A = this chain, B = another copy of it.
Amino acid sequence: MGRRGEFDLIAQLFAPLSDKHQGLGLTDDAALFVPRAGHTAVLTTDTLVAGIHFLPGDPPGELARKALRVNLSDLAAMGATPRGYLLNLAIQDSATDDWLNGFAAGLAADQHEFDIALLGGDTVRTPGPGVISITAIGEVRVGRALLRSGARVGDDIYVSGTIGDAAAGLRLLTAPNELNPSHAATLIDRYRLPRPRTTLGPALVGLATAAIDVSDGLIADLNHICQTSGVSALVGADLVPLSPAIEAAIADGLLTKLDAFGGGDDYEILFCAPREARDVLNRLAARLALPLTAIGEIGPGSGVQVLDHAGATIRIDHPGHTHF
């Protein structure tokens, strides 16, 4: 790369992204974060390694946005509104100025889209694969955060949007196929650029009893809710919302419906809510133009059971995807 030193990189690429007040223009020892009155800070962090979580040839702008968005998705699942983020970047020696400029441009685009600012970070070089850590900071009303632990017997189980698109997109990137190009582009885009449900999450505060974002896979993440809440879940396989693109991919034999349930990287919100919330949730879905689909029900005991249309249990061999 052009031998820009750390101070130059900060001044040229990252200072323009910073919040002058809270991030102190990246010129001080630390950043300040003041939640609005009555709110608590919410913090989440995620690490991506080149060659494992992304490919060195991935467009750097999309990579930056994905690294940011997976964290915004975690905030949304807590019911929190995003406010800013910290960036830790271990830049691999082969990274070019173009790569760095593209990375910063991706961050700038998403800062605008999600109304957040860079508050601080650290930039170093590494002789190994690049490592990107982003820590997102948001806020939620004190005592109102959506936890995984609040699901109650009898709650409906909902998921936003559609499931499995990202998993199908990843397969399309790594295996030859004859899928309709428009469907293929849709699925690859869903893999590369998650849509964190930053508006839905805060709107679920006071409605949802438990929530998680679908990153490990629908069944695995539902199991996280069950374990933390001490309950079981029953899911109707035919109720899980699928996009036309993934329906086509399943029809083409690119993957099965069960692959979609265990695929990961959906970044939808999976949540539980009492039956009384049904009407309110329907109106919320209409207002956000985002489907909120009831896929099953919480019961006593433990574990996740998936039923086919005839009511028979479907065995799930690969409930989820690990990002480790």
- The chain A residues found within 8 Å of chain B, CB to CB, are 5-7, 24, 27-35, 40-49, 51-53, 74-75, 77-78, 80, 86, 88-90, 119-129, 131, 133, 135, 137-138, 140, 142, 145, 147-149, 211-213, 224, 228, 322-324
Contact = CB atoms under 8 A, between A and B. Distances in A.
B47 A29 contact: no
Nearest to A91: B324
Contacts of A131: 90, 126, 128, 131
Contacts of A137: 43
A40 B44 contact: no
Nearest to A90: B131
A234 to B, nearest CB: 22
Contacts of A6: 322-324
A30 B122 contact: no
A90 B47 contact: yes
A46 to B, nearest CB: 5
Given A32-B40, A35-B35, A44-B120, 16 more contacts: A29-B212, A29-B213, A31-B42, A32-B140, A33-B40, A34-B40, A34-B142, A35-B41, A43-B119, A45-B88, A47-B89, A52-B127, A122-B133, A126-B129, A126-B131, A135-B135
Give how many copies assemble into the complex: 2
A129 to B, nearest CB: 4
A77 B40 contact: no
A51 to B, nearest CB: 6
17 contacts: A7-B322, A24-B147, A28-B228, A29-B75, A29-B148, A31-B42, A32-B43, A33-B40, A33-B42, A34-B142, A43-B135, A45-B88, A47-B123, A49-B90, A90-B131, A122-B133, A124-B323
A32 B42 contact: yes
Given A40-B34, A52-B125, A122-B133, A28 B148 contact: yes
